[in-house]
């Protein structure tokens, strides 16, 4: 009897997870990896499609801290409520070796600037663009 109940609960969980993962008519989220290193953002041009859900997987490969600042982009994108706390005034801070996932829907088409705001880092090359098409 308890085995049947366990299976029933298991199926229920699978169904509810599927419902959370994808709203009918919405494309599944695409995972896009962005690497931060000293002193690069790669890819330097991040290409996204308007209205498409993404998981931005931001990885700081350096030993020291970096940030990912894209104020206009984050202001225009639709951030998942759970991830809003990771973005402060359009800025995501990552300690050395840290990785973060940010779930969002890409905003209107356009070119959005990205840079690291740590002292001198953008001058040394930590800048790029997000091109939403």
Choosing from 71, 103, 118, 127, the residue that interacts with Cu ion (CB under 5 A) is 118
**Segment 55 to 74, residues that bind Cu ion, using CB under 5 A:** 66
Three-state SS string over 85-126 comes to: HHCECCEEEECCCCEEEEEEECCCCEEEEEECCCCCCCCCCC
Q: Is 115 in the site for Cu ion (CB under 5 A)?
A: no
**Minimum CB distance to Cu ion smaller for 102 or for 121:** 121
Q: Is 116 in the site for Cu ion (CB under 5 A)?
A: yes
Q: Is 91 in the site for Cu ion (CB under 5 A)?
A: no
Structural contact between residues 54 and 104, judged by C-beta atoms closer than 8 angstroms: yes
Burial of 56 (0-12, 13-18, 19+ CB in 10 A): buried
Structural contact between residues 51 and 25, judged by C-beta atoms closer than 8 angstroms: no
Total number of residues that touch Cu ion (CB under 5 A): 5
Contact string (CB under 5 A) for Cu ion, positions 20-59, x = contact: ----------------------------------------
Q: Is 126 in the site for Cu ion (CB under 5 A)?
A: yes
State residue 110 phi and psi, 5-degree precision. Answer: 160, 175
Residues found near Cu ion in the complex (CB under 5 A):
66, 116, 118, 121, 126
């Amino acid at each position: 009897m308890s085995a049947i109940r366990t299976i029933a609960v298991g199926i229920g969980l699978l169904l509810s997870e599927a419902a959370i993962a994808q709203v009918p008519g919405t494309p599944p989220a695409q995972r896009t990896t962005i690497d931060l290193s000293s002193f690069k953002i790669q890819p330097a041009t991040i290409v996204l499609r308007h209205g498409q859900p993404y998981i931005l997987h931001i990885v700081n490969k350096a030993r020291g801290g970096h940030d990912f600042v894209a104020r206009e982009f984050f202001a225009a994108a639709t951030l998942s409520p759970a991830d809003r706390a990771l973005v402060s005034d359009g800025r995501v801070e990552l300690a050395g070796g840290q990785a973060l996932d940010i779930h969002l829907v890409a905003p209107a088409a356009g070119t959005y600037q990205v840079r690291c705001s740590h002292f001198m880092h953008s001058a040394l090359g930590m800048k790029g663009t997000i091109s939403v098409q």
